[in-house]
Structure 1
Amino acid sequence: MASYEALYGRKYQSLLCWYEYGEASVLGPDVVAETTEKIKRIRERILTAQSRQKNYVDQRRKPLDLEFEVGEHLCKYTSDAAHVLEPESVELEENLTFQVTPVRIDDTSVKKLRGKDVSLVKVVCERAGVEEHTWELESEMRKDYPELFSVDVGIESDEMRRRIW
């Protein structure tokens, strides 16, 4: 006895092939043909719905060619393989990081936490002509890059530097 029949006391009726209670459940060529015909109709309806949805989206999709105004002239851009930039090679370390050396220090700040003050410096790193700014711990930057804190910058001591900033 099937589990559905045991639970509900009657045979399971699928949506594809309905049969009346008490009919013979032997599948003949008529039932198979009827079922395949229903499957074909269902498949056609699904394809029609998908086509309708695709047409709806295609009508609202923006074209890939961009138009923009430059001064008073209207220009149209079409993609060109010559405009693609080649990536520069970067030497990666074992942990998939790369070393960027800082160029200069732009700013300093002291963050006051509950129990202590943390000195930070805004470091400028340049790679491939692009400047990146990050806040780093002053103690680590002094240890790793003491040349950034040299007297040539115009700041002679820590106390004077802190008073200025």
Structure 2
Amino acid sequence: MNTQLSVTDGGLILAKLRAKPMFLQEICEAQKGDKELQAKITQCEAGIESDFQIGSDGCLMFQDRICVPKDDELIQKILHEAHSSCMSIHPGSVKMYKDLKKMYWLTKSAHFRPVSTDYPLVKLANLYVFEIVRLHKIPLSIISDRDPRFTSRFWKKLQEALRTKLNFSTAFHLQTDGQSERVIQILEDMLQCCVLKLQGSWERENQIHGVDLFRETEEKVKVIRDCLKAASNRQKFYADLKWKEIEFQVSDKVFLKVSLWKKVLKFVRKGKLSPLFIGLYEITERIGLVAYHLALPFELERIHDVFHIYMLCHYRSDPLHVIVQTEVEIQPDMTYGKAPVKILDQEVEKLRNKSIALVKVLWQRHGVEQATWEPEEAMRNQYPNLFTGKIFGDKNS
């Protein structure tokens, strides 16, 4: 922590404190013991052009990121600070990884071994000794879930004899440190690309090494990314063909899309019968380029009255949409009488053994599209006035 003092014109003393993490100093000291990083430092001092450079504090940088040497204790300290410290409050694996990636450049490798879920504990112990201890020596700690095979007395005694610390995950926090959390996420991404090839034969495959699998997966991810981009461009091309610029004017009538509020507000009906649009509403003001102010009724006072243009549907005035109200006399049995106005058409429907004369009747308080075909004989008996003189002779034209 650096402290700077300054005196103002009024005689006041201002103290400026600058906090600097001690990790930077520890990393610079640890770089001196790493042969690979020392070789990079030598190249930078010799003026060889590369992505590596020496910072103002003497630390080796890779594209403005501090190079972290292969020091397990130092890496664990950095990850613990980013994952479990009181200042970080565990922001999540993705955000934590992105924050660390902006500042640190780490070189790491992973060793994966596919196993079956029905392997007994003895077989797992043999694989552990043959694959892990033989190649990487005895680990300092192991992180695992609470599977009965890992919580058994045999497994605990084995790790106690090897002086290995056991860390178990919980139901609400499946990974207990940031390093394993990130490795598991990368492994899931890799296996998703290889699942079509390996399918259900994981235990019969040979060892999957992190470096080789990563290179193969990186090539597949590049191909998948190119295919997704081509598909996205194709869909964009089709969408642009139907796209058109929409603009409303003040005093226009519009419908309001309400499908986004089905779970918030009820509009007359619910479920499949609920309306997609309601209205009509008048536009009173244009706000910006893509928003409009509507004159909403009192029952919609809970809704903000400014809407994006994609939520509005333009209404085109049509005189046929105007419904003239007429008085209807309701009978005691809650029905109303209807009388025929005139006959619109006449035809004969021929069946196998007989022919039936039909007439198309226009009813009172109904439109032409609601006219019905009725038997001519029944209509003639009930409404003989429709079949007299010239009216029926020329089909009531």
Q: TM-score band (shorter)? A: 0.3 to 0.5
Whichever of the two has the greater Rg, that structure is: 2
Greater relative contact order (Cα < 8 A, sep 6+): 1
TM-score (norm: length of structure 2): 0.22
TM-score (norm: length of structure 1): 0.45
